[in-house]
Chains A and B, each alone.
Chain A
Amino acid sequence: MTQTAAEIATILIWGFAATATLSAVMFGAQRLGYSRLSIPFLIGTMFTGERSGAHALGLVFYLLGGWLFAFIYYFIFASIGRTGWELGLLIGSIHGLVLLVMMLPLLPYVHPRMASEYEGPIRGRRLQPPGFLALNYGYRTPLTTIVAHALYGLILGARLALT
């Protein structure tokens, strides 16, 4: 195996582990009633209005997204010139914050099934928008989201090595 192939394999393996951890924390927060933010569900409902199908489809996209972000993290580490769990934790936390502050609030404009507070629900657009910091999905949502993403970054920071 070449060095590049080994590096890609490492990113894929630890990208998967980090995504699984992130998902476990987010899913646990849902089941414990701390938050109702399910990114796989939000992704899946972009493609189908069938609830269980949306969960399954969303999970596939979410896993692929987790791998994609593992590569992005790797390039960020490379551009900084170092790795480490502390750096991963910091980047992960920023990632979670960006998701909450910038990405999720934009969702109503791009999600075909998301309702708007101005127009109300209409046929085909019925999902409640996340609102500021996704607080519509529970007041602990910002906390659980940042913790989950911080863990994602921590795992990648700790396990990815630069050559």
Chain B
Amino acid sequence: MEVPGDFPDVGDYAVIGNCRTAALVSNRGSVEWMCAPTFSDASIFGAILDRDAGHFSIAPGEDATVSRAYIAATNVLQTAFTTPGGVLRLTDCLVLPDERIPELYPEHELLRRVECASGEVEVEVSFAPRWDYGRRRPRYAKRGALGWQCLDCSFGAILRSEIDLAEDKPRARLAGKVRLKAGEARWLSFAYDEADASVIVPFGEDAGARLQSTVAWWKNWSTRCSYQGPYRDEVLRSALVLKLLNCATSGAVLAAPTTSLPEVSGGPRNWDYRYCWIRDSALVLHAFLRLGYHEEAEGFLEWLLHATRLTWQRFQVMYDLYGEVKLDEKILPFLGGYRGAKPVRIGNAAHDQLQLDIYGELMATVSHYVEAGGTLDTVEAAMLAGVGRHVMKLWRLPDQGIWETRREPRMHTFSKAMCWVALDRLGRLADKFAVPIDRKHVAAECDAIRAEIEDKGYDEALGSYVAYYGGKETDASLLLLARYGYRDPGSPRMAGTWDYIAKTLCDNGLIHRYRDDTGYDGFAEPENAFAPCNFWAAEYLANAGRYDEAQQLFERLCRLANDVGLFAEEIGTRTGKPVGNFPQAFTHVSLISAATALYQRKTA
């Protein structure tokens, strides 16, 4: 069955989740992306990548204007459809049950409540999961009052509905409709258990209690946010996104819950982001620390030290949720792609690239963790020493850089600077803990890196650091040299770099990560503005003492979030709309970082 209508804009989706998987719900009331059982498994609702790859829609049977919002401080979504006949309100969540009650709950439950708020509205339901990214269609078996069991999948999946549904065999879906009057409501629950007998949950008060426990869980988590500065709503929404992507069973943080949402409409830059990037995650950990979420930060650090043991002392660019290192890239040729953007990929071939900056980001994060009161045991200290020795061996090599270019390795200035950060922080950690490393050697290598960067990574004629040695191009990641303490933000070299970036990478008020017309990343096609870079710019300006400019930029960027405050990886240069995998942890963590920089500058 094809979902009625064309692909919604990426920004027309909102995300809900239970810290083990996530679902994207469109503003037409349709769940069009969800992987099961967990984030990194195959999708069961995949209409965002192909209109026949699965959906679960609940919507009015007539045209409606839509408004939606999360229940305050939660990841529970409410969508209101205003039709000529009345107003329909849809509430969606992935349930987080109250575990203090000794009851059996399904391992995962997508709970949906549709209520007629006024007038009289016809509601249409279409439930059409597709297993294995849409490769296989399900069969259904009616289990009496227990609901509809979905067959032919490896887990026990059951749909219960207070709206009568019938099987539409040719379209392999369950469908039904009902006319609701003001005050009437219906529940629908899609629940599944990975390996045990299914647990089937009642409706009525019980369903209301599950919804309330989910709301309470998120609100309770939100109250732990210690940030009290400006833009608190935006910061809290970003923190909620990060928490939603923080896998409860391993501590890992996903880059995004989706795959292959294109960086440019119809283009080839379609990547699978359902993995844990060391770089992004280190920044997420830092954000959690800044916001007072020490438990999450510790959980992630544990994951990090555990996951990377398989490759220690070398770090892989990314790992899966449980530290798996083989993430071979595959193409799913049977999926048409979001608005025709092919290929759809799963896995990520960038996993075995050499990207030297990750060592600096990791070491800086451990350093922040220690500054926030964390400690390192002797095993962890020895691991970090091993990483430091590895950096001293590698830093002279060319790499693919922070942007994971798919071309020959180059001597990226930012990568070198992050090697400097790694060794600098290692030296500082060695001041506090018994890190078994030759301190003099580390200091000498730090000096050597800095000397090389200042010699080859800075162009006197341009008055700017350059993206790679000997080049004339710049790269927005160089703005982070100030954040990591490599250069004072007010220094002439950083000021010149900012000017050069603003001059060459800014288009329609938005900053690109690099020039996309020079084949910088190995692709010839243009791309949109990389959202995190724009928040880095705001952060840089704040740290450089240019508060008003920083504030203006930050506020303009916040207005480019979608209607529920979510950002994708990129922002359409012409449209200002979210583009690419969605929602993106890297963007939200950059928002938090910029907001805290503004706050610090203001209070200073």
Q: Which residues of A contact B (CB under 8 A)?
A: 30-33, 36-38, 41-42, 45, 48-51, 113, 115-124, 126-128, 130-131, 136-139
- Does B4 belong to the interface (CB within 8 Å)? no
Give chain A nearest CB distance to B144 CB in angstroms.
3
Q: Write 23 A-B pairs (CB below 8 A) sorted by A numbering.
A: A30-B196, A33-B155, A36-B155, A36-B156, A37-B197, A38-B197, A42-B197, A48-B102, A51-B104, A113-B104, A116-B145, A117-B143, A117-B145, A122-B202, A123-B103, A128-B146, A128-B156, A128-B158, A128-B200, A136-B149, A136-B198, A137-B197, A138-B156
- Give the residues in chain B near A137, CB-CB below 8 Å: 156, 197
B103 pairs with A124, CB closer than 8 A: yes
Give chain B nearest CB distance to A138 CB in angstroms.
8
- Does B206 belong to the interface (CB within 8 Å)? yes
Give the nearest-CB partner of B99 in chain A.
A50
A127 pairs with B143, CB closer than 8 A: no
Give the nearest-CB partner of B155 in chain A.
A33
Give chain A nearest CB distance to B596 CB in angstroms.
38
- The CA of A115 and the CA of B103, in the complex, are separated in Å by 13
Within 8 A of A (CB), among B129-160: 143-146, 149, 151, 154-156, 158
Q: Please, what's the 1-or-0 string for B71-108, where 1 marks a CB less than 8 Å from any CB in chain A? A: 00000000000000000000000000000001111000
Given the known inter-chain contacts A45-B104, A120-B144, A124-B103, please indicate yes or no for A115 contacting B197, CB distance below 8 A: no
Question: Of A37, A42, A117, A121, which contacts B201 at CB under 8 A?
Answer: A121
- Give the residues in chain B near A115, CB-CB below 8 Å: 146, 200
- Does B305 belong to the interface (CB within 8 Å)? no
A36 pairs with B195, CB closer than 8 A: yes
The count of chain B contact residues (Cβ–Cβ below 8 Å) is 24
- The CA of A51 and the CA of B104, in the complex, are separated in Å by 7
Top 3 A-B pairs, shortest CB-CB distance: A33-B154, A117-B144, A120-B145
- The CA of A117 and the CA of B541, in the complex, are separated in Å by 64
Give chain A nearest CB distance to B179 CB in angstroms.
24
Give chain B nearest CB distance to A119 CB in angstroms.
6
A118 pairs with B145, CB closer than 8 A: yes
Question: Of A50, A120, A127, which contacts B102 at CB under 8 A?
Answer: A50
- Give the residues in chain A near B145, CB-CB below 8 Å: 116-121
Given the known inter-chain contacts A33-B155, A120-B202, A126-B200, please indicate yes or no for A136 contacting B195, CB distance below 8 A: no
- Give the residues in chain A near B197, CB-CB below 8 Å: 36-38, 41-42, 127-128, 130, 136-137
- The CA of A45 and the CA of B102, in the complex, are separated in Å by 11
- Does B382 belong to the interface (CB within 8 Å)? no
- Does B502 belong to the interface (CB within 8 Å)? no
Give chain A nearest CB distance to B266 CB in angstroms.
36
- The CA of A157 and the CA of B203, in the complex, are separated in Å by 50
- The CA of A97 and the CA of B206, in the complex, are separated in Å by 37
Give chain A nearest CB distance to B324 CB in angstroms.
16
- Give the residues in chain B near A33, CB-CB below 8 Å: 154-155, 195
Question: Of A31, A45, A122, A131, which contacts B195 at CB under 8 A?
Answer: A31
- Does B291 belong to the interface (CB within 8 Å)? no
